[in-house]
Structures are given as C-alpha cells and as structure tokens.
Chains A and B, each alone.
Chain A
Amino acid sequence: MNITTDEDVAPSGVAVNERDAGASSELRLPTVVAGEVCMLDRDVLRLSYEDVDVIVPAPSLEDAERVIASPRQDLSKMSIDDITAFFAKVGEAWSDPANHWRKIASTWVPRVTGYSPQFVEGDLTFLGNALKRAKQYDFLETDLGDPSLLDEWNRTQAVWQRCVPQGLITHIMVGNVPLASLFTLYRSLATKNVTVAKVPSRDVVSALCFALCIQETDVDHPVAKALSALYWEAGSVFEDTLLDASDAVSVWGRAPAIEAVKQRVRSGVDVIEFGPKRSFGLILSHDGDWERTGLRAACDVMAYDQEACFSLQEIYVPSAHLDAALPALQHGLESFEQRSPRRGLGADGDAHIQRARLEAEAEGWNVLVAGGTQWTIIATDGPVAIPEHPLGRVLYVHPYRGLDEVLALTSRDVQTVSVEPWDQVLTVADDLVLAGVDRVVPLGRMARFRPGFVHDGFHPMRRMVRWVTIERGLEQKYRFKADTQDEDEARVLYGRHELPASAAER
C-alpha cells in the first residue's frame, strides 16, 4: 500500500466521489476535524491499495489546533444517558441499509482490506447492534462498574467517587480488525473525551465512515463536536503537535510503533497500549464428535484470517487424539474456505506460507495443504515455539502429553485460549491465566465476545477517565472510625485527650 501526496487532484464539490476507472477504482472521502466535515478542496493524500485508491484531505497544523481547541465543557457535563441515547441514534443510522456511510463501508472495506464482503458485513452489523442502548450499558458496566460514575458522585467506602474525562485523547489505530477502530471511537467519546483518531492506513474506510455517520447524526451534538478522525503520517509534526497536547494516548500496533509513540509523549500522560498478542486453542480430552470440533477450531482460525490478536494460530491436542483431530481440522478449514474464502494475500503473503510449509517439512512435520495457499495444517512433533507465524489460515497443531508442556509456551503474549470440552475449563483456567492468558473462551468463540469481555487484561475505559474522590469528613465514621472530629483533632492537633477550652468554645 502506497501513500502519496497528490496536489493536483481536483477539488471535489461533493462529500464522496467514487469512480471506477478501468483496473483501478478511486474513493474520495472527507475527514472530520473538530466535529466538522473536512472536504477535499485542499492538498490531499492518496492511499493506494492493490486496485483501489482512497483519497483523503491532508491534515494541516491548523487542523491540529482546531482539534486541540475542540469544545470540552458541554460534553463533560452531558449525562451518560443522553450520550447513550445519541449513540443509539447513531446505531440506528448505521444499521439503516440506505445510510450513505454504511453503504460506502459495506462496498469499500472489503476492497481495501481484502476481507470477504460477508465477513465485513457481519462486523458492520455487529457494531449497529452493539450501539443499542441496553448493550451500551452492558459495555459501560463492564469497564466502569456503574455508568452513573460518569455523571455524579457515588458513595463508596469513606469517599464520594466519580470519574471525569481525561480531556483530549489521541488514538493511533491499526486496521487488521476494523471493529477495533470503531469501538475505540465509542469508548473515548462515551467517556466524554475530546477524541482524535488516526485512522489506520490498512483500512481508512471503516473508521472514517463511522466517524462521518456520528457527525451526520447530529452535527451540533457535543459528542459530534468533540470528534476528529483523519489520516496523518507517523512521526509527523502534526502528530507531535497532537501528542504534545494530549491528556492520554491510546496506541495499537507492534512494539516498535508503541515505543516510538511513548518516547514522544509528555511525562505523566497515560499511554494505553494495545500491543502484539497471539492466541491458541487447547483440547483437553474428546468424546468423539470431531467434526464439530474441527468446525469450531476453523471458525476461530478464519476470523480476520488470523490477523487479529484473538485469532487461533496454534492448537494443542492430546497426542492420543492427533490422528483423529487432523482430518477434522482439515474438513473444518475446507468448509470455511467455501463459505467464507480467505482473502488474497498477494505474493508476499503466499510466499510466507510456502516458506512455512517448507520449514515444517524440513523438520519432518506432517503438512496438509489446500490446492493453493488457502489453508494449511502443520502437525508438529510436540509443543514448540513458532518463531514466525505466516498467518493466512495456517494452523499449527501440537500434540502434547501434559499441560505443563502447554504452559511452558504460554506467556503474557497470549491473549485468548479457546478450550474444549468446555465443561473442563475450570481444571485449567487458573493455570492458564497465571501463565499470562487474559481470556479463556469455548473453542469456536474466540471472535465472539460476551458482555463482560475484558480487553488484553484491563478495562480500557477506566484508563480513559480520571478517578476522582471527595473524601468524607469524620461525620461519616465508616467502619473504623469511632472518634468525633473534635476527639480526633484533640489527639492529633493538640496531643491531648480533649480540645483546649478555647478551641472547644469555638
């Protein structure tokens, strides 16, 4: 994917210009700066994908200043109930098949990311459903406990407590999972922050379309006015300006990218990291319905073609069951290839898979393959670290004898482990999470999150607010204090059992 500055592109008088020109198509998308649509009547950036170009306005330092100056007070004073009501309207708009931005996302996200249209549609629909009010409160409660903490003081122990927005949060997003961008925007705005998001180069369309849908739902709404979503280049002066003004920063991506941002953020500014993770499956025992197991595992493999943190890349199978497992896994991958074909990976992606196959054969491992590179099963000869996973629906199957072999290769790098049979999960859950795993789910449900889902071992929205308290006076004794204020101060201030007469009189 190439990015070029294109100063000669004619200004567009419309919000979107879609053009199919021979082998290459072009989509011109505006961005959102401080709640206003930023048109393409200025310098633009052209992001070139395989057969699609997306053209967006190039950001200016003036844009950065407008973002930083976005109004905060109205949003910070708005009740969470009004915010959820607004997002419910956004969700209704987004769920409307005739919605302009939804249609653009449905058409162009598959072309930009390569994910199948069915898969993308599933994600976009999921977002619309997730914005129903009841589900929003589920989401808020998972991270914050009581959503009313965003609005008012709540009593807890010997304090009044609430949370207030951080202020300005800059989000640097990645595009391997389009939904991740969309939920990042929601989390940040729902916690009443001025939100500026760098849309990922891998998929500029999803986040921009969602942001434009938010903005269009009510252009005067404090949530809309607090939102900016645009593309800028990493390491630019524009980015420096935003980072310098940010009260918190969230960064998705590889370790070097995260480190690069952390070094440019002021001391005391929270950097919320969503760093590199992997996930695997664990079969503990089996009762014989291998077909279903194979389909479940394949379902976990095919999500985002293994490019998500929660994609199943490896699976551990008891040695005694390996011969039964392999044909079932093969059948599962073949089935999903027919229903939801893997995206084309291009020459490099295919090359990585071929290399992985050859390396596996060099080890003497059993390799099952599709006719091309659509799927691959590599059965190792025992649990072993895989130094370079080629992704693209390549499943490493490790026969194992004891859980200790699995735990030896488990660390904080592991986000999700899917387990089968589910009724035995509690026999291994403690060991897995103590070894570093964040999330344990039934096999087949890695990409389908339940209410209460915790992301990478923490609650992101809790980091997008500041937790503040008013400590109660001693009129509220709570559980430990027996003294009155006078009794307490007599002892602490005066070193006596009683206040001096002069103080007592007052």
Chain B
Amino acid sequence: MSSNTIRSGKAPTTTRYRAAEYDSLDELIYEGADAYNTRPDHATVVQWIAGAAEWHLEHSNVFKHLAAARGFSTDELRATGDLAKVPLVSSGVFKRRQVTSGYEGKTHNTTSSGTRGSISVVARDDRTLERFVGTVLHGVRSFHGDSSLREGIVLSPGSASPNGVWFSYVMTLIALLHDASFFVENSTLQCEAIADALESLSPEIQPVLVGPPALVWGFLDYLAQQGRVIDLSDRRAFALMAGGWKKRVGEQVSRAELTERLNDWLGIPPHALRDVYNMVELNTALFECEEGRKHVPPWLVASARRPADLSIADDGEDGILAFLDPTALSYPAFILSDDFGSLRCRACGCGRVGPTLTVTRRLAGIEERGCGLSLERYGSQTRNGSL
C-alpha cells in the first residue's frame, strides 16, 4: 500500500487582495435578482473563492496551516479553477479553538446550540453578519417574493440568546424582513397565543410560520388536541422550518406527517412547507423551492466528499457535505461539515438552475465504537487560544 511522504508544506504565494472581486459578490447578494436563473460563470465564482482564500491566508493561521499541509496556492486555483483543492476547515475545529481571520472592529461569538455536547464558536464581525443577513434576504426574495403584507409568526424567543446561540440570532432576523411576533417565553411555546394571533390577522396579511420543526409540530399538536382549525388556505400562508430537531431527534416525525397536519389544521398546502438549511459555521442560508429542493446560492460552492479520500462525490452520491463560502471575512468559511448528503445538478421543476442539496443525516458519534471514553472529561485539557 503506497502512502504519502511526510508533507513538506510548501508556503503558498499570496497576491494582493483585490476589493473589486468582492464588489461583484456584494452586488449579487444584496441586489441580485433572478440569480437562480442567470448564475455567474465558474470563473467568477473561482475569483470570489480565490479572493476569500487570499484574505484568509493572510489573516488566519488555521487556514495558513491547512494550505501549507495541502500544498494549496491561490495562484494555482486561479490558473486551474479546481475548487476541489481548496483546503477545508473541519467543523470540529470550531469546537476546539477560536478560529478567526481578518476583521475590523469587534467580533461577535456566535455558537451552536450544543446538541451533541460540545459547542462550536464562530467569530463574526459586522461585515460578515451583514453578508449573512444579505443571504437570508436574498433567499426570501428569490423563493418567496417581496411583500409588505407579510407577518412573521416566529416560534422562538424575541431576543437573541445572551450566549450568542446562532439559531436564536437567526430567528430574530425575521423582524428585519417583516412585522414579526415571537411566541416562546421562558422556554415555553405559547400555543394559544399563536392561534389567537393567526386568527386575528387582517385578511390581507400573509402569515409566515417560522420555527424549528419540533415547535411547529408542537403547535400543530396543540391545535389537534383542541380541535381548533385555523383556515389560512386563502392567504398564501407558508411555513419556514429551520434548525432541525436537535435534542428532540427522538421525537422526529416525517415530512409527510408534518405536511398532512399543516394542511389539516392550518390549510397550508404541502408545497408551502419549506426548510431552510444553515449551520453556525456556514455564513449562507439555503432555501427550499416549491418542489422541496434546497438550491445552492450562486456564490456558494457546495460538494459532497467521499469519506474514504475526500474526493468529490458524483452527482447524487452521498458524502460529507462541504462548503466554500466566500461571504465570511472574520473566519474561513471553507467547511467540512458534520452532515452527510448529496448534490444534484439536474433541472428542477421550479425552473431555477444550479445544484440542489439533499441532507441525509448527521455524522454518527465516535462513542458508538471503541471503549467509549468519556471525552468531555479528558478534553478539558484541550489547548485553547486563538490561532
């Protein structure tokens, strides 16, 4: 069996960061219309990724180390356009240490919810956060249109978690888009208040139910127990789910069950139930179309990687999901995630072009093998500090 020799780590050459590349990226995020039908060409995307990579090579020791280990250079990337060669930061790194790149002003520590015990911490500066908000606005415009007569019914607390939990912060963004009311108080879902709010909406208002699937299901369960039907069928209402089942994965119900209950108790048809995909390490939100497919935004490079060698999986082949996200400045958002899934480049019935992403499952824990050492106890001595 052949093996690689000891990696000598040739230092990459860096060229000066060219701000003009980012101008076109920002233009697409904040103002781009019809971006899912007229996608930028590959060369443009390579320039964005290469520009981001140069930035992180200059400002992030983590990315510098990875580039050295993999023999990566942005000059080669620009020359070959081979995005598969861009080094990836494992999502696990964000659990072990602070990972920062270049930023101005302050950074805000945004964290995962710690479903699996350990917490990822991602440092976002204002520009990075603005870009994330931009991706959300872009997605809402592209997949749900603009409307000033829309109201968010949000199954989340109204203020961001003081601990910087990313999901909690993302939920508050709804208020930037529309009038919004929030219905989780003291960790309790206010089902009756939600029902009252929906029933009291003016007829011209389009309600948008937003929340994690467990709480959406919880509200539907409440309606079923009360025998309370709220008919929103003539309001073009829709439901946006985000965040996954998290610690309530044992209670998970199928999408079919969810759509059935949404239709039965709220009159929301199946095509109006949409999922939004994001994770704390990813600075872009992926929206689902009316066909139920998550479309990869035009500035984001998504791939599924074969676990055996991290090569790019074929169309439709399951692998570890990886993302090259040029929108983040304060940290390198070139991520090997904890999710398995696949990418497909076939035409979608919604008419939008570009790859669609399917998430299959989460990576299983290591504790299911081996001697099951309690890693948290041992891990308390993990090195800290920023690289």
Interface flag for A493 (CB, 8 Å): no
B-side binding surface: helix, strand, loop or mixed?
loop
| Contact, CB under 8 Å: B363 / A348 | yes
What mask results when residues 316 to 353 of chain B are scored 1 for a CB within 8 Å of chain A, else 0?
00111000000000000000100010000000000000
Bound CA span A494–B92, Å: 76
Q: Which chain B residue has the least Cβ–Cβ distance from A382? A: B383
What mask results when residues 414 to 443 of chain A are scored 1 for a CB within 8 Å of chain B, else 0?
000000000000000000000000000000
Interface flag for B308 (CB, 8 Å): yes
Interface flag for A349 (CB, 8 Å): yes
| Contact, CB under 8 Å: A358 / B371 | no
Q: Given A337-B1, A368-B3, are A362 and B369 neighbors across the interface (CB < 8 Å)?
A: no
What mask results when residues 357 to 399 of chain A are scored 1 for a CB within 8 Å of chain B, else 0?
0110111101111111110000000001111111100000000
Interface flag for A117 (CB, 8 Å): no
Interface flag for A189 (CB, 8 Å): no
Seed contacts A367-B69, A388-B92, A413-B373; 11 additional CB < 8 Å A-B pairs: A176-B369, A276-B373, A307-B371, A309-B371, A362-B387, A369-B3, A371-B2, A385-B378, A387-B95, A387-B96, A389-B366
* Cross-chain contact of B90 among A278, A355, A386 (Cβ < 8 A): A355
Q: Which chain A residue has the least Cβ–Cβ distance from B320? A: A351
Q: Given A355-B90, A385-B378, A391-B366, are A366 and B340 neighbors across the interface (CB < 8 Å)?
A: no
Interface flag for A481 (CB, 8 Å): no
Q: Which chain B residue has the least Cβ–Cβ distance from A306? A: B370
Which A464-487 residues have C-beta < 8 A from chain B? Answer: none
| Contact, CB under 8 Å: A352 / B378 | no
Interface flag for B374 (CB, 8 Å): yes
Bound CA span A352–B336, Å: 11
Q: Given A358-B88, A367-B7, A387-B382, are A254 and B363 neighbors across the interface (CB < 8 Å)?
A: no
Bound CA span A286–B3, Å: 26
Which B1-36 residues have C-beta < 8 A from chain A? Answer: 1-4, 6-7
Contacts of A355 in B (CB 8 A): 90-92, 336
| Contact, CB under 8 Å: A276 / B90 | no
Q: What 9 A-B pairs come out closest when comparing CB atoms?
A: A387-B379, A254-B372, A350-B307, A385-B381, A361-B69, A276-B373, A358-B90, A364-B65, A348-B364
Contacts of A390 in B (CB 8 A): 366
| Contact, CB under 8 Å: B372 / A361 | no
Bound CA span A232–B373, Å: 24
Contacts of A338 in B (CB 8 A): 1
| Contact, CB under 8 Å: B374 / A255 | yes
Q: Given A362-B89, A370-B3, A387-B96, are A254 and B367 neighbors across the interface (CB < 8 Å)?
A: yes
Interface flag for B149 (CB, 8 Å): no
Q: Given A307-B369, A391-B366, are A369 and B65 neighbors across the interface (CB < 8 Å)?
A: no
| Contact, CB under 8 Å: A354 / B372 | no
Bound CA span A409–B380, Å: 11
Interface flag for A330 (CB, 8 Å): yes
| Contact, CB under 8 Å: B369 / A349 | yes
| Contact, CB under 8 Å: B370 / A307 | yes
* Cross-chain contact of B366 among A253, A337, A388 (Cβ < 8 A): A388
